[in-house]
Every structure is written in C-alpha cells, then in structure tokens.
With several copies, the nearest count.
Chain A
Amino acid sequence: MSFFGGSRNGGGLNNERIEAAMHEMEMITDVFNRMVSSCHAKCVNTRYADAELSKGESVCVDRCIGKYFEANKLVGETLNSTAQAAGGGGMGSSPMGM
C-alpha cells in the first residue's frame, strides 16, 4: 500500500523499526477484525427488530471478547509446544503482543 509513501526520502529515519511497528499494527487489526466478526456471529441477533444491543447480547459480547483472548493465547501455546516437540525452538512467546 502507500503506507510507506514518505519513508524513503526521510533522512535519519529507521525504516526497519517503522516497518516492524506497522507490521504489529496490521496484525492487531487483523485479529481484531476476525474477533469482531466471530463474536458478532455468536452473540448478536440478526433479525434487527430494533437498534439496541439487548442486555443479554451485551453480556455475551463481553464474555466472547474475553474468551477470544483466552483462545488466542491457548492456540499460540499449542503451536509453540508442537513446534518444540518437532525439534525447533518454538516461537519464544505467543506470536503476538496480545
């Protein structure tokens, strides 16, 4: 994309670090979008008789987001221990800052 439009002219800028921060941001956005889509499917009634989140839906959303984080962590740990069992060193920590 055009995200790095200005970065090539910039004297004294460390493109590597900006790229890394950018990369992290994209990753978090990706996880967030998938989580939004999953928890919408799990919790929100799509008959749309009105425009409000009901009490039940709101509680479901809160728990769903929390549970998604737990699932994210567990899947990361599982991949790491699988990679270690396969002889590699794993990925050190969970593959993302979340």
Chain B
Amino acid sequence: MDMSGLSSAEQAQMVQIIEKKQMRDFMNLYSSLVERCFTSCCNDFTSRALSSKEEGCLKNCAEKFMKYSERAGARFAEENAEQMQKQQQK
C-alpha cells in the first residue's frame, strides 16, 4: 500500500489503525486455525479428552499452517510489489 499521498498526521493515524487491524486479523487467524485443525484432526468423540494421536495432529497442523502462512505471505508480497511496479510503468 502506498501511503505517500497522506500527511504525516494521517500516516501516524494510519499506523494506529493498522496496529488495531493487525491485532484483529491475528485473532481471526487464530480462531480460524483452531477450527481448521480441529476439523482435520478430531474425529473421535468416544471420549472428551484429546488422544495422543489427536494431540500430535493438532500440533503439526498449527506449526505447518504457520510455515505455510509465512511462505504464502512472502509470495503474496512479492507478486503484489511486482504488479504495482508494472502498473506504474504504464
């Protein structure tokens, strides 16, 4: 995102807004991650407790998703930067 069109007061405000949004986005990521991993890993309801198999699956799911998410974010940023550059050359 290009913030150069904004005044410094506006930029300061944007930073605050962005921080709040990041907090919100993180919580959203977190709750969707729990849902995603629970859906993939937990399918036995003969007991309330997590089996060791379910525990392992949940941990792997959470860790793997964070790695996936980092990679996807890096690619997204690259592609986005490339496309903005192309648009400015037009």
A–B touch (CB < 8 A): the answer is yes
User: Are B13 and A7 within 8 A (Cβ)?
Assistant: yes
Q: Chain B contact residues (Cβ within 8 angstroms of A): what range?
A: 35 or more
Min CB gap B26→A, angstroms: 8
B66 & A82 in contact (Cβ 8 Å cutoff): yes
Interface pairs A-B: 7 shortest CB-CB: A51-B63, A65-B75, A66-B48, A48-B60, A34-B35, A78-B62, A51-B60
Q: Which residues of B contact A59 (CB under 8 A)?
A: 45
Interface-centre pick from B6, B18, B65 (highest chain A CB count, 10 A): B65
Chain B CB within 10 Å, residue with most, of A13, A14, A21, A95: A21
Question: Are the CB atoms of B48 and A2 closer together than 8 Å?
Answer: no
Report Cα–Cα, A1/B20, bound state, in Å. 10
Q: Is the CB of A63 within 8 A of B71?
A: no
Cross-chain contact B71 with A53 (CB below 8 angstroms): yes
Known A13-B10, A35-B76, A53-B68; contact A71-B48, beta-carbon cutoff 8 A? no
Q: What is the interface of chain B, defined by CB distance below 8 A to chain A?
A: 1-3, 5-7, 9-10, 13-14, 16-18, 20-21, 23-28, 30-35, 37-43, 45-50, 54-69, 71-73, 75-76, 79-80, 83-84, 87
| Consensus secondary structure, chain A interface | helix
- Knowing A25-B1, A65-B72, A71-B58, the reply to whether A10 touches B48 (Cβ < 8 A) is no
A-B contact count (CB 8 A): 194
Across-interface contacts of B18 in A (CB, < 8 A): 25
Interface residues of A (CB under 8 A from B): 1-4, 6-7, 10, 12-14, 17-18, 21-32, 34-44, 46, 48-53, 57-76, 78-79, 82, 93, 95-98
* Inter-subunit contact A32/B20 (CB<8 Å): no
Q: Once the chains bind, are A74 and B63 in contact (CB under 8 Å)? A: no
Which residue of A2, A18, A69, A98 contacts B10 across the interface (Cβ within 8 Å)? A18
